[in-house]
C-alpha cells in the first residue's frame, strides 16, 4: 500500500501502447520505475512468483519498480493496452496489484494522456501531471483508502474556517478524539498530519483565488490563512512547484488565447 502524501511527488515518465498480438509475451523482467497497464481490449495474464493473475477490460495492473513479473497476451483475445511509466515514492513495498476500474475512470484518463502525449507546452505537461494524480487517487479509492467520516467532518470545518487560527487541539475537538488518538487516526486515513492537511487545503484555496480573481496576492494570502505574500509564495513553491504569480500569468495567457480563438 502507498500513502496519500506521496501522490504530489509522482511524476509521469512515458506512455505507450501494446498492439494486439496473439503471440505477445514479455519474459520475466523488472523495471526501474513503476508501471500501469490498462487493457483497452483483449486479456492479459501476469505472473509474479507463484501468483498468476488474469484480467481484461475493466482491470488495471500496477507494477511497482523492481518487482519481477512475466506477461502473456490471451491467444484467443489478443491484448491491446496502454501503459504508463512513472515515479511515486512509497510504492516500492507493493506487490504486483490488479484493481477493478469498474467506472472506467482510469481507462478514460490514461487514454486522454496517451492521445495528448506529444504536446510539449507547459500547460500540457502540467495537465498530464494532474491527470496522473487523479489516477493514483482513484487507485487509492479502489484499494479502500477512502476518507473516513471523521476526516470529512474535520475538512469541512477547515474549509469554513480557512483564514482562522487553527490548532491541532481545535481539530481534535471537531473529531471528538483525544489529540494523540486524533493525530494517529487522521494520518492513517489521509497520509498527512492534520496540520499538513490544513496547509495543503489553504494552498489549494489560495490557488483558486489566484486563478479566478484579480485580488492582490497579499490579500489572497490573508484570506487563505497563509500569512503574508512571501510565506504564501514559499508554500506554493513547495506544494505546487511554482510561485502564485506564475499561476496567474499562465491563467491569463490561456484566457487570452481562448478569447482570440
Q: What is the pLDDT of residues 154-187, one digit of tens each?
A: 999 999 999 999 999 999 999 999 999 999 888 8
Query: Do 226 and 109 share a structural domain?
Result: no
* Percent of the chain whose pLDDT exceeds 70: 89
Give the domain range for residue 251.
149-260
What is the per-residue pLDDT across 123-146, written as a single tens digit (0 to 9) for each?
888 888 888 888 888 887 777 655
The last residue of a domain, from among 142, 167, 199: 142
- Residue 73, pLDDT above cutoff 80: yes
**Is residue 182 located within the same domain as residue 96?**
no
Averaged pLDDT of the chain? 85
Instruction: Name the domain count of the chain.
Output: 2
3-state secondary structure the chain: CCCHHHHHHCEEEEEEEECCCCCCEEEEECCCCEEEEEEEECEEEEEECCEEEEEECCEEEEECCCCCEEEEECCCCCCEEEEEEEECCCCCCCCCEEEECCCCHHHHHHHHHHHCCCCCCHHHHHHHHHHHHHHHHHHHHHCCCCCCHHHHHHHHHHHHCCCCCCCHHHHHHHCCCCHHHHHHHHHHHHCCCHHHHHHHHHHHHHHHHHHHCCCCHHHHHHHCCCCCHHHHHHHHHHHHCCCHHHHHHHHHHHHHHHHHC
Q: Is the pLDDT of residue 258 over 50?
A: no
Domain termination residue (choose one: 142, 172, 192): 142
pLDDT band at residue 190 using 50, 70 and 90 as cut-offs: confident
State the pLDDT confidence band at 83, using cuts at 50, 70 and 90: very high
Q: Which of 92, 120, 142 is the last residue of a domain?
A: 142
Amino acid at each position: 500500500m502507498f500513502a496519500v502524501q506521496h501522490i504530489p511527488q509522482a511524476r509521469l515518465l512515458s506512455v505507450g501502447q501494446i498492439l494486439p498480438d496473439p503471440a505477445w509475451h514479455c519474459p520475466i523482467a523488472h523495471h526501474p520505475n513503476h508501471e500501469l497497464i490498462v487493457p483497452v481490449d483483449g486479456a492479459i495474464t501476469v505472473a509474479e512468483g507463484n501468483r498468476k493473475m488474469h484480467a481484461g477490460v475493466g482491470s488495471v495492473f500496477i507494477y511497482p519498480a523492481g518487482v519481477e513479473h512475466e506477461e502473456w497476451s490471451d491467444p484467443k483475445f489478443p491484448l491491446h493496452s496502454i501503459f504508463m511509466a512513472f515515479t511515486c515514492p512509497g510504492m516500492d513495498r507493493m506487490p504486483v496489484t490488479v484493481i477493478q476500474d469498474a467506472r472506467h475512470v482510469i481507462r478514460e484518463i490514461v487514454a486522454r494522456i496517451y492521445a495528448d502525449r506529444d504536446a510539449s507546452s507547459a500547460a500540457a505537461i502540467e495537465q498530464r501531471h494532474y491527470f496522473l494524480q487523479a489516477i493514483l487517487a482513484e487507485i487509492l479509492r479502489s484499494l479502500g483508502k477512502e476518507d473516513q467520516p471523521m476526516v470529512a467532518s474535520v475538512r469541512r470545518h477547515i474549509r469554513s474556517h480557512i483564514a482562522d487560527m487553527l490548532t491541532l487541539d481545535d481539530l481534535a475537538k471537531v473529531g471528538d478524539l483525544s489529540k494523540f488518538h486524533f493525530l494517529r487516526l487522521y494520518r492513517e486515513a489521509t497520509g498527512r498530519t492534520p496540520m499538513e492537511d490544513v496547509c495543503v487545503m489553504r494552498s489549494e484555496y489560495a490557488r483558486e483565488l489566484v486563478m479566478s480573481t484579480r485580488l492582490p496576492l497579499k490579500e489572497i494570502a490573508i484570506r487563505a490563512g497563509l500569512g503574508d505574500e512571501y510565506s504564501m509564495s514559499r508554500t506554493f513553491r513547495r506544494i505546487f512547484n511554482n510561485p502564485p504569480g506564475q499561476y496567474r500569468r499562465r491563467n491569463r495567457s490561456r484566457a487570452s488565447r481562448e478569447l482570440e480563438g
